[in-house]
């Protein structure tokens, strides 16, 4: 139960006088949901620190008797994936070489396009915006054949550059949507005043719009980085062997341990592959929420 009191500055503050049963039920439900979502992660982390013999003798769920840190070293640079015994290190590098450029390109292009359709109105701008954002509602399977034809014709099949191109174009649907909804609340008087002073399209963007865009750009960078790093379908479809990203390499690792299970090494590889996105979530999650909230309030 809460009671309102007047503070020294005249504002109304609420004082708790008890712990309501409804609040206890909310905490219980939230705790159960959190436990259900975190249970697979906990199991994988524990298995990454257990030896294969220990897992075989007991079960996939259990506390490690001895911390097997060697699983991480073997998964990183020693285990055989697709007949190449270099661990997942080269595939992590592939994912970085795909994710970082695609995130930068899609964010910048989306910011420019969102700025154009929100603050520089032109004939057919609504149709352009609708066509770009239509990609949000198309399943990925529908895009496989067109992308196969495009990559074949330009000679980018089984290349990292091809995946960068795919994720840059595919990411425009998200980045244009986010940026356009953020920019539409910027006062048009700023644009008119800059145009009166002789500033053009790109000068206004670099000098006025971009400095105001840090909240939404943080949102798009986190969104794109996480989505591209975790993407699997395009990586396994358009690349093979040493050109695959880490998500596709994990499937090859699963096939490699099918006959002789190495669940400890496999779990360690999964943790290593998920580490970049986990760090992005831990250190950038609050900025992501703050950026979305800023756009919503505007």
Q: Is the pLDDT assigned to residue 4 strictly greater than 70?
A: no
Q: Is the pLDDT assigned to residue 257 strictly greater than 80?
A: no
pLDDT for the residue 117: 87
Q: What is the pTM of this model?
A: 0.82
More confident residue, 190 or 273: 273
Fold observed for domain 89-297: MetI-like fold (1.10.3720)
Average pLDDT, the chain: 84
Per-residue pLDDT of 66-89, as tens digits, reads: 888 988 998 898 777 766 778 889
pLDDT for the residue 104: 96
- How far is C-alpha 145 from the geometric centre of its chain's CA atoms? 25
Helix (H) or strand (E) holding 126: helix 125-133
More confident residue, 251 or 150: 150
248-271 average pLDDT score? 76
Residue 137, Cβ neighbours under 10 Å: how many?
A: 7
207-224 average pLDDT score? 90
Long-range contacts of 117-121 (CB under 8 A, 24+ apart): 117/176, 117/180, 118/179, 118/180, 118/183, 118/184, 118/186, 119/183, 119/184, 119/186, 119/188, 119/191, 119/209, 120/191, 120/201
Per-residue pLDDT of 184-209, as tens digits, reads: 888 888 888 888 888 888 898 998 89
Q: Is the pLDDT assigned to residue 11 strictly greater than 60?
A: no
pLDDT for the residue 108: 94
**Domain ranges across the chain:** 2-73, 89-297
DSSP structural state of residue 207: I
pLDDT for the residue 175: 92
Per-residue pLDDT of 14-72, as tens digits, reads: 455 555 778 888 989 999 999 998 898 899 999 889 888 888 888 888 888 888 898 89
Per-residue pLDDT of 91-109, as tens digits, reads: 999 999 999 999 999 999 9
pLDDT for the residue 32: 93
Helix (H) or strand (E) holding 215: helix 214-230
pLDDT for the residue 9: 52
Lowest-pLDDT range of 77-86, 206-215, 271-280? 77-86
pLDDT for the residue 294: 66
More confident residue, 235 or 8: 235
- How far is C-alpha 168 from the geometric centre of its chain's CA atoms? 14
Is residue 196 within 8 A of residue 204, CB to CB? The reply is: no
119-142 average pLDDT score? 83
pLDDT for the residue 245: 93
């Amino acid at each position: 139960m809460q009671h309102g009191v007047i503070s020294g500055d005249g504002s109304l503050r609420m004082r708790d006088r008890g712990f309501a049963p409804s609040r206890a039920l909310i905490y219980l439900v939230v705790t159960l949901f959190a436990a259900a979502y975190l249970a697979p992660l906990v199991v994988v982390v524990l298995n990454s620190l257990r030896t294969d013999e220990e897992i075989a003798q007991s079960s996939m769920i259990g506390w490690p008797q001895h911390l097997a840190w060697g699983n991480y070293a073997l998964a990183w640079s020693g285990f055989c994936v697709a007949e190449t015994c270099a661990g997942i290190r080269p595939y992590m590098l592939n994912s970085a070489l795909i994710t970082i450029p695609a995130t930068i390109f899609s964010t910048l292009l989306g910011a420019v396009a969102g700025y154009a359709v929100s603050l520089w109105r032109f004939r057919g701008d609504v149709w352009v915006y609708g066509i770009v954002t239509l990609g949000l509602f198309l399943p990925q399977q529908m895009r496989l054949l067109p992308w196969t034809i495009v990559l074949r014709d330009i000679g980018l099949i089984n290349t990292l550059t091809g995946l960068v191109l795919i994720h840059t174009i595919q990411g425009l649907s998200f980045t244009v949507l986010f940026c356009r909804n953020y920019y539409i609340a910027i006062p048009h008087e700023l644009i008119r005043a800059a145009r009166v002073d002789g500033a053009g399209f790109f000068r206004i963007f670099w000098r006025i719009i971009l400095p105001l865009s840090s909240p939404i750009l943080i949102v798009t960078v986190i969104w794109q980085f996480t989505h591209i790093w975790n993407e699997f379908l395009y990586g396994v479809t358009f690349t093979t062997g040493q050109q695959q990203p880490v998500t596709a390499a994990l499937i090859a690792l699963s096939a490699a341990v099918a006959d002789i299970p190495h669940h400890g090494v496999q779990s360690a590889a999964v943790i290593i592959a998920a580490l970049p996105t986990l760090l992005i979530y831990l250190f950038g999650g609050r900025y992501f929420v703050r950026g979305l909230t800023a756009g919503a309030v505007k």
